[in-house]
Structure 1
Amino acid sequence: MDPHSALVVDDLAGSRDWLTRALALAFPGIVVQQAATLAEAFAQIAPPPPLALIDLGLPDGSGLRLIEALRAQPDPVLCIVATVFDDDAHLFPALRAGADGYVLKDQTPEALADMLRGIAAGQPPLSPSIARRLLRHFKPEPEPAVAADEALTARETDVLRLVAKGLTVAEVAGMLDLSRHTVAGYLKAIYRKLSVNSRAEAALEATRRGLVGTR
């Protein structure tokens, strides 16, 4: 994409000039129109320009309204937010409204021009800090860590000690005056807490914990 014209919407004259200079550096010969309010911008989008740099905080409303209006046009308009806001509360509503890019006013016109040139190559125009914020937002949350040495209850400890001594489930049930089904349930909980899968592994863990002797 090599836009022949663009619209700069910002209520500060200095910001409009900064954005206009960046556009001229990125696309030599481009015709740039400026608007300080939403009303002025809406008066200049018939027909719409192929590219618009839009501030969010305007005197007569949010730049999101303009983005939504431009996205509804039959001809494609590349809408890029140019703002000082680098928080989620402004970033994600702008993207939901249809913004194609989000750049911050914390760089030189030359740096912004380099970003805008990336449009022709299909690169999303995002300030580095905004790109990092997006990556953090969509990065999957880590799975909660499972305790490697989850505490056993007193009864589970009794069952583990006896199993480690070589007693069968039936023998453990008899000694503790429990049903075989209850002892089996305790064993299942012990295996889960100790992250083991067999009586032999459970016996080794019992030895490590000092529940049975090594001789």
Structure 2
Amino acid sequence: MVSSQAVTSAEVKGGHWFVVDGLAMPRAVGGHPGLDFVNTLAGWAEAEPSDYLKTYDHLAVWASVSGLLEADAAAALRRRAASRKAEGDAILKDAKRFRADLRALVLDPADGRALRRVNCVVGRAAARAELVPGPGPAPRWSVGGGLERPLLAVAWAASELLTQEDLSAVGACPGDGCGWVFLDPRGRRRWCSMQWCGNRSKVRAHAERHRA
């Protein structure tokens, strides 16, 4: 059984990921939850990329640690999904398709096919969106309570990204096995993290110069 408090504590691991409730989660480097959702897959150009969304549980927990879903709501959804595996698996498949379309759209806003597909999911989120009391003095948006809630929460956040951010300022990390995206409004950022991909590239370049 999943505790409603389980997703509130994170065990820090080295590098670009950490563990929440026994599940590996990618670190947030995108500057927006929509971009961080794209970054739940690393190695977009690789034959065998690394996918952090392995199960519905991963999707629900990621939405929680990203601030799109309350911890107790994520725990409740995971309990419900445990007895409705086929539905959870179908939603996870939809989430991965949305992730790929969202990446294509933020890197190429003129991609009409990606826009139509993203808009379809955003439309489902918009149809269910309502203002509810928040934890503070201001209300917050909610997109319903079904198993699709993590995906719709991501889609609602992505609609904000697509309409309020300058997509020409979105960069993609050129690191081997990476491809993570991030906001780069100053145009000075090359890597998702200098500590990870940047340093690996520097070490590789130094070794190649040494061999030469």
Q: TM-score range with shorter-chain normalisation?
A: under 0.3
Q: What TM-score comes out, normalization by structure 1 length?
A: 0.25
The structure showing larger relative contact order (alpha-carbon pairs under 8 Å, at least 6 residues apart) is: 2
Compute the TM-score of the two structures, normalised by the length of structure 2.
Answer: 0.25
Greater Cα radius of gyration, structure 1 or 2: 1
